[in-house]
Amino acid sequence: MKSTRHFAKLAAALAGAAVLTASLSALARELSVSTVLSDAFPWGQAAEKWAELVEERTEGRLTLRVYPNSQLVAGDQTREFSAMRSGLIDMAVGSTINWSPQVPELNLFSLPFLMPDEAAVDAVTGGEAGEMIFEAIESRGVVPLAWGENGFRQLSNSRGPIGEPGDLDGLKIRVVGSPLFQDTFNALGADPTQMSWTDAQPALTTGAVDGQENPLSVFDVARIDQVGQEYLTLWNYMNDPLIFAVNQRVWDSLDEADREILRETAVEAGEWEIAMTREEERARLADIQERGVNVTELTDDQHQAFVDATREVHDKWIPRIGEEIVEAARAAIDGR
pLDDT at 243: 98
Give the type of residue at 176: V
Whether 98 is in a domain gets the answer yes
Whether 21 is in a domain gets the answer no
CA 170 from centre of chain? 29
Interhelix angle 323-334/118-125, nearest 10 degrees: 130
In terms of residue numbers, what domain contains 121?
29-334
Rounded Cα–Cα distance for residues 292 and 313 (Å):
34
Whether 17 is in a domain gets the answer no
Terminal Cα-to-Cα distance of the chain (whole angstroms) = 82
Give this prediction's pTM: 0.89
Q: Which residues pair with residue 146 across a beta bridge?
A: 244
What burial class does residue 254 get, using C-beta atoms within 10 Å of its C-beta: 0-12 exposed, 13-18 middle, 19+ buried? middle
- Judged by DSSP in three states, 286 sits in helix
DSSP class of residue 41 equals S
pLDDT at 87: 96
Phi (first) and psi of residue 262, to 5 degrees: -60, -45
Rounded Cα–Cα distance for residues 225 and 292 (Å):
9
Whether 145 is in a domain gets the answer yes
Please report which helix (H) or strand (E) contains residue 223, including its range.
none
Whether 8 is in a domain gets the answer no
What is the CATH number for 196?
Answer: 3.40.190.170
Per-residue pLDDT of the chain (336 residues; tens, 9 = 90+): 555 555 555 555 554 544 444 344 447 899 999 999 999 999 999 999 999 999 999 999 999 999 999 999 998 999 999 999 999 999 999 999 999 999 999 999 999 999 999 999 999 999 999 999 999 999 999 999 999 999 999 999 999 999 999 999 999 999 988 899 999 999 999 999 998 888 898 999 999 999 999 999 999 999 999 999 999 999 999 999 999 999 999 999 999 999 999 999 999 999 999 999 999 999 999 999 999 999 999 999 999 999 999 999 999 999 999 999 999 999 999 999
Phi (first) and psi of residue 215, to 5 degrees: -65, 160
Whether 64 is in a domain gets the answer yes
Whether 18 is in a domain gets the answer no
Domain tally, the chain:
1
Rounded Cα–Cα distance for residues 292 and 159 (Å):
15
Whether 11 is in a domain gets the answer no
> Torsion over CA of 322, 328, 333 and 336, rounded to 10 degrees?
-160
Give the type of residue at 37: L
